[in-house]
Structure 1
Amino acid sequence: MEMTAEKEGLFVDPDFTVDDSALFSDYTTPLSRLTGKVTWLRPQQICRSPCLFPDDITEAHPKQGILGDCWLLCACNMLLKSRYLLDQVMPPGQCLWGQRGYTGQFWFQFWRNGHWTEVRIDDRLPCINNTPCFSHCNCPVAFWVALLEKAYAKLHGSYERLWAGQVCEALVDLSGGVAERWSLKKSVNTPVGQSLFPELSENIRKWSYVSCCVHEDPTGASEQGQFHALSVIEWKDVKTTAGEQVQLLRIRNPWGRRCWEGAWTEGGAGWTMLDPVCSAALLGNTKEGEFWVDKREFQQKFDDITVGYPISEDHHLQSIYTGSLLTHTQQIGGSWIKGFSAGGCRNNSSYSSNPKYWLKVQEGGEVLLSLLQHGPWSSMHNFQKGQSVDNTRQHPYYQAIALHIWKVDKKRFNLTRTLNSTPCASSLTHTYEREVVVHAHLSAGFYLLVPSTFLQGAQGHFLLRVHATCSTFLSAVKVSVQQECGGGEWELESVSGCWTVGSTAGGSRNFPSHGKNPHVPLIVTYDPGGTNVKVTLCQHSPENTLHAIGFHIYKVSGDVECMVISGMVCPVVSCVPHAHSHEVSVQCRLPPAGYVILPSTYQPDCGAEYTLTIARKIPRKAISCQEHLGQAVQETSHVSVMGL
Structure 2
Amino acid sequence: MTLSSMSETGTCTDIINLRYQDGSVGSPSKPQKFNYQDFGQLKQTYLRKGRLFVDSTFPPDYKSLGNLSDLPRSVRSRVEWLRPSDILKAQNVKGEPSFFVESASRFDFAQGKVGNCWFLAAIASLTFQKDLMVQVVPTEQDFEDYAGIFHFRFWRFGKWVDVVIDDYLPTFQRELLSVSAKTRNEFWVPLLEKAYAKVCGSYSDMNAGLPSEAFKDFSGGVHMTYKLKEVHDRNHDEVLWGQLTRATKCKSMICSGTAQKGDTIVNTVADSGIVDAHAYSITAVAEVHDGSSNVRLVRVMNPWGEKEWNGKWSDESSWWNRVSSEDKAKCVKRDDGEFWMELEDFCQHFQILTICCENPNFIDGDVITQWKVMIYDGEWVAGRTAGGSLSNSTFSTNPQFRITVTEIDTEEKEDKNVLLSLMQIPSQRYRNDERLRPIGITVFETPAGRIENSFFRRNSPMKRIQLYGYERDLIEQHSLKPGEYVVVPSIMKAYAPGKFVLSVYTKTETSIEPHHEGEDDDDDEDHLILPTPPKPVVPAEKSSVYDIFKSYADQNGELSAWQLRKLLNETIAKGSSDLFDWSACRTMISVVDADRMGRMTFKEFSTLWSKFEDFKKIFNRSNVSKTGTLTYDELKSAVQAADIELDDNMVWLQYSLLQGDSSISLVDFLTLMLRMDNMAKKFKDKSSDGFITMDWNEFAADFMFI
TM-score when scaled to structure 2? 0.64
Is the contact between residue 343 and residue 456 of structure 1 (CA under 8 Å) also seen in structure 2?
Answer: yes
Written as runs of structure 1 = structure 2, the 5 A alignment for 1:227-266 is 227-242=277-292, 244-266=293-315
- Higher mean alpha-carbon deviation, 81-90 vs 65-74, is at 81-90
Does 1:117 pair with 2:168?
no
Q: Which of 429, 437, 451 pairs up with 2:475?
A: 437
Structure 1 residues 50 and 582, CA gap change in structure 2 (3 angstroms): farther
Partner residue in 2 for 1:10: 52
Which residue among 139, 163, 184 is the counterpart of 2:183?
A: 139
Check 1:413–1:132 CA distance in 2 against 1; reply closer, same or farther (3 A cut): closer
User: Could you say what secondary structure the match of 1:237 adopts?
Assistant: strand
State the distance in 2 between where 1:303 and 1:508 align: 58
Other-structure match for 2:532: 497
State the match for 1:454 in structure 2.
492
Alignment of 1:143-162 (within 5 A): 143-162=187-206
Is 2:441 the partner of 1:403?
yes
Amino acid paired to 1:17: P
Q: Aligned partners of 1:82, 1:213: CA distance in 2, in Å?
A: 21
Which runs of 5 or more residues in structure 1 are unaligned?
Answer: 383-395, 481-487, 518-537, 551-575, 588-596, 604-616, 618-644
1:295 shift after superposition: 0.9
Q: 1:11 to 1:219 in 2, by over 3 A?
A: closer
| 1:511 partnered with 2:552 | no
CA distance in 2: counterparts of 1:234 and 1:372, whole angstroms: 29
Structural mapping, 1:78-227, within 5 Å: 78-94=125-141, 96-97=142-143, 99=144, 101-186=145-230, 195-202=239-246, 204-205=248-249, 207-216=251-260, 219-220=270-271, 224-225=275-276, 227=277
Question: What is the number of residues matched between the two proteins?
Answer: 512
Partner amino acid, structure 1, of 2:101: P
TM-superposition CA deviations, 1:329-368 (whole Å, max 9, x none): 2111222223333233334444333222111223346222
Task: Decide whether aligned partners of structure 1 residues 353 and 336 sit closer, same or farther in structure 2, where only a CA change above 3 A counts.
Answer: same
From the superposition, tell whether residues 507 and 40 of structure 1 become closer, same or farther in structure 2 (CA, over 3 Å): farther
Map of 2:388 onto structure 1: 344
Q: Cα gap change, 1:319/1:213 in structure 2, threshold over 3 Å: closer, same or farther?
A: same
- The residue identity in structure 2 corresponding to 1:237 is E
SS of match in other structure, 2:502: strand
| Residues in 1 aligned to 2:236 and 2:389: alpha-carbon distance in whole angstroms | 24
**1:593-632 superposed matches below 5 A:** none
Letter in 2 for 1:34: V
In 1, Cα distance between equivalents of 2:238 and 2:526:
44
Distance 1:75 1:356, change over 3 A: same
The amino acid of 1:466's aligned partner reads V
Q: Counterparts of 1:167 and 1:133 in 2: how far apart (Å)?
A: 21
Q: Which runs of structure 2 are paired with 1:385-424 in the superposition (5 Å)?
A: 397-411=435-449, 416=454, 418=456, 421-424=459-462
- The answer to whether structure 1 residue 381 and structure 2 residue 432 are counterparts is yes
Does residue 1:368 correspond to 2:419, yes or no? Answer: yes
CA distance in 2, matches of 1:499, 1:241: 61
1:45 lines up with 2:86 in the alignment: yes
Q: Is the 8 A contact 1:539 1:583 kept in 2?
A: no
Could you list the structure 1 runs, at least 4 aligned residues long, displaced by more than 6 angstroms after superposition. Answer: 5-8, 187-194, 505-508, 512-517, 576-580
Cα distance in 1, alignment partners of residues 116 and 476 from structure 2: 28
Counterparts of 2:239 and 2:428 in 1: how far apart (Å)? 33
2:313–2:341 contact (8 Å) kept in structure 1: yes
The CA distance in 1 between the partners of 2:60 and 2:52, in whole Å, is 14
Q: What are the Cα deviations for residues 270-327 of structure 1, in whole angstroms up to 9, with x where unaligned?
A: 435x325256312227660112111111112211111111x3xxxx664432243543
SS at match of 2:320: helix
| Other-structure match for 1:322 | 365
> Cα–Cα, structure 1 residues 259 and 583, in superposed 2: closer, same or farther, change >3 Å?
farther
1:362-407 residue CA offsets vs partner (Å, 9 max, x unmatched): 334622210011114677626xxxxxxxxxxxxx600011112122
Corresponding position: 1:473 with 2:511: yes
Report if aligned partners of 1:369, 1:437 keep a CA contact under 8 Å in 2.
yes
Three-state SS of the structure 2 residue aligned to 1:91 is coil
Instruction: Give 1 or 2: higher strand fraction.
Output: 1
- Measured in 1, the distance between the counterparts of 2:238 and 2:454 equals 36
Give the counterpart letter for 1:433 in structure 2. Answer: E
Q: Which amino acid aligns with 2:447?
A: D
Assess if the C-alpha contact under 8 Å between 1:548 and 1:579 holds in 2.
Answer: no
Matched residue type, 2:473: E
SS of match in other structure, 2:331: helix
Report if aligned partners of 1:183, 1:303 keep a CA contact under 8 Å in 2: yes
Structure 2 Cα separation of the partners of residues 27 and 80 of structure 1: 28
Residue 642 of structure 1 corresponds to none
Please identify, of 440-449 and 214-223, the stretch whose mean Cα deviation from structure 2 is larger.
214-223
Decide whether the 8 Å contact of 1:253 with 1:259 is kept in 2.
yes
Amino acid at match of 2:494: Q
- Tell me the CA shift for residue 229 of structure 1: 0.6
Secondary structure in structure 2 of the residue aligned to 1:334: strand
Partner-residue secondary structure (3-state), 2:85? helix
Structure 1 residues 505 and 109: alpha-carbon distance in aligned structure 2, compared to 1, 3 A threshold: farther
Partners of 1:214 and 1:515 lie apart in 2 by 48
Residue-by-residue CA offset, 1:458-477 (whole Å, 9 max, x unaligned): 22111111122224333333
| SS, match of residue 11 in structure 1 | coil
User: Normalising by structure 1, what TM-score?
Assistant: 0.69
Aligned partners of 1:164, 1:18: CA distance in 2, in Å?
22
Structure with greater proportional helix content: 2
